[in-house]
Structure 1
Amino acid sequence: MLKLPAFPRHGYYGPGRYIPDDERIHTFHINVSDKVIIDLGQRLRDARISHEQLEDISDFSYGFNKNTLEEFLHYWRNDYSWKDEEAKINLFSHFTTQIEGLNIHYIHAKPPINKYQRIVPLLLVHSWPGNFYEFYKLIPLLTDPALQGLNTMRTAFEVIVPSIPGFGFSEASHKSGFDQIATARIFKKLMVDRLDFLRFVAHGGDWGSLVVSNIAREFPEHLYGIHLNNILSVPTIRKTLIQILGSYFPTMMFLSDAPQNYSYKEIFMEKLFESGYLHIQATKPDTIGVALNDSPIGLMAWILEKFSSLTNKEYRNLPDGGLEKKFTKDELLTIVMIYWINGNILSSQRYYKEFFSHPDRIEFSKEFIDVPVGIITFPNDFGGFQTPAEMFSSVATLKHYKVAEKGGHFAAFEEPVLLAKDIYEYVGKIVPEFDFEVLVGSM
């Protein structure tokens, strides 16, 4: 086993010189000023769409289709109500606390008192270009499953949903070097040092999966296990061989039936085709970020184009990008609004730069994850193929693996029912004394 590089147990990302944290927890209520909303309305009225759609291109293959852009702009300007969405978000209990010099925002959602026999603490970590709002449909399924129609009265989760610093309502780092390893350390401090959970379960996807995996690498003693809907890890010789050989001899390499059409070549080409944003954000985020922080429709196009192609790669062949096949305009615009209100698309993009700039990230990512890991893989995730279990078992102690029948990259936002059921099933395996029931029925 590789020796884990030595990483600091503390950091400071606040402004200026080090100042001890204010360790108090403060209630937080989202209340965006009328001035911000009025300014946005004026920008939307003055928005300039000066290009023409190509006459022979009617889909998203060149990027955001102009006709769909105009449709979303009209809805945002005339029909969308931030105050209505703000009221819905404020139904959750929000808090802030200072960790390593940064004000960390989080939702803390608890099950009803005395309704469930066992309460399990669960950390949910979001991704990009999403934010904490990705989980708004998932949280009630976890905190009060009986109310959602689940056949259980035994177990529910106490859910913590923080905003990654530089996303949502968490303060952005004032110094370079704030990456997914530092995030893991800060979220561990949130769970253990501020909220007094000595052990907990953690779930994430995309960047969230890497943050959660890093908690497992750095602080395994505080975890029952981690659950992921995809996994970010550095390619190894073994993994690459499994991918290549599995493309030609799937029955020899893969135990399950799902990945029998697996194609390493198609996955590589798809990721190459769809990863232009990643290269920009990983190199010069402070350039593209200026434009997106200044233009609401530019910000919308940049974010929602990814909600099209990463939900299902076939959606880019549709005139509307398939955006409303799984989401509503209100849901998508609320994701965008949280970036606009806080002016933090640039700081969220720096997260890519910091990941690729870390000198020891490759060695750190190779460290085997020795806490119980659960995976649910969705067929339309990035690359368009379900990831075989063998790809995960080479990097982690895999205790649970399931192939979902539908869904893409934004699992919690798109298929919260499937994800909730799988989290319950996974936790029932890793902590058998909890005696979880197999969940059935509709939610």
Structure 2
Amino acid sequence: MTLKTIADTLLFRIVVAIILGIVCSLFFPDWLGRVFVTFNGLFSNFLNLFIPVLIFALITPAIAGIGRGAGKWLGITAGIAYASTVISGLIAFGVATATYSWLLGDDKLGTLADIDEGALTTFFDIEMPAPFEVMTALILAFCVGLAMTAVKSDVLYAGVRELEGIVMKVIKVFIIPLLPVFIFGMFVSMGMNGNLMDVVSAFVKVLVLAVVMTILLIIAQYLLTGAITKVNPFTALWNMMPAYATALGTSSSAATIPVSLECTKKNGVTPAVAGFTVPLCATIHLAGSMMKITLFSLAVIHMFDLDISTGKFIGFLLLLGIMMVAAPGVPGGAIMAAVGVLQDQLGFNAEQVAIMIAAYIAIDSFGTAANVTGDGAIALIVNRLSGGKLGEGIDSREADIDAVVATDITEQRN
């Protein structure tokens, strides 16, 4: 990987934005700091408007595409991917509940949105009401997606696929390029308001924990897979290491698909099963991403002393699992698809969401590597359950499966 390639990555730009934000907060005059605070306010309002549209535009064709490729093994594979993703979140919830009291301590930061004397404020604000709520978008996407499958509405299906393409274009050419500026402004604001070091010191510990937990997650997945399939879990995991290393280096599930296919076949999975499960799971299986988002969101809840009950957070995990399974092809990570649920279910404000995005992208590749390696475990389970065959009609479903993963093939997804 050349220096130019590294410099073009979102991770590099986010890291530079964080460093510059910390440094600039030491000497920026108030008026200049308020310029970036104003930009962040406008950008945050736009995200609030756009996120429900994003959820509807991505989930509707995904649900319709999966339904159109209806088949027993497609449903089983999607069910296993969803279960794996949600269980990953529940494990992270248990670990965070047990460790954050001593890992992060008892110091609370309050809320970054509180305006104390001398804190930065915006020059002006423009309200941008969302066309509908996040939950409305999610329910509507499911209803429309399933209805299109039932009535075989090809015209409407083509329309929502075009809407998906438009939304992806907005994400790629507008939101993603401005994210580093948003992160820069947030760190400038935190530094000038005096609570930067508390946030950074706490999240360094959480970042380390997240890396360790994604590795332990993979080991647990293969131990369970070994018990189900009667294969040696350590041999199977070792055979997947080239895929893990490729994902770690590229931060892209799509770029890792060819390597994942070969590793999966080396584990004894038949070509038919590998060719079906690996591309599909590269889109819908995000257990590593779920692990990171859960750990980071619980850290924000702890640090800012938010009142979130256990039942509400588990409900958040179940909804987030749907978002992870049904929203493929979001460049910059699954965190963008999760923003709406974080705001709607947990009440996160713009500053807390910005912290989540920065932390998520900082260890982006570890989550992607966990996702990809877990795909190999799912392939082994499906291979065992199907006896190495996916039944009749697999060829006729290839176009539909390709439609589900098409965005992931063309865009970088974590």
Tell me which of the two structures has the higher relative contact order, counting C-alpha pairs closer than 8 angstroms and 6 or more residues apart. Answer: 2
Confirm or deny a common fold (TM above 0.5). Answer: no
Which protein is richer in helix relative to its size? 2
Q: TM-score, normalised by structure 2?
A: 0.23
Q: TM-score, normalised by structure 1?
A: 0.22
Which protein is richer in strand relative to its size? 1
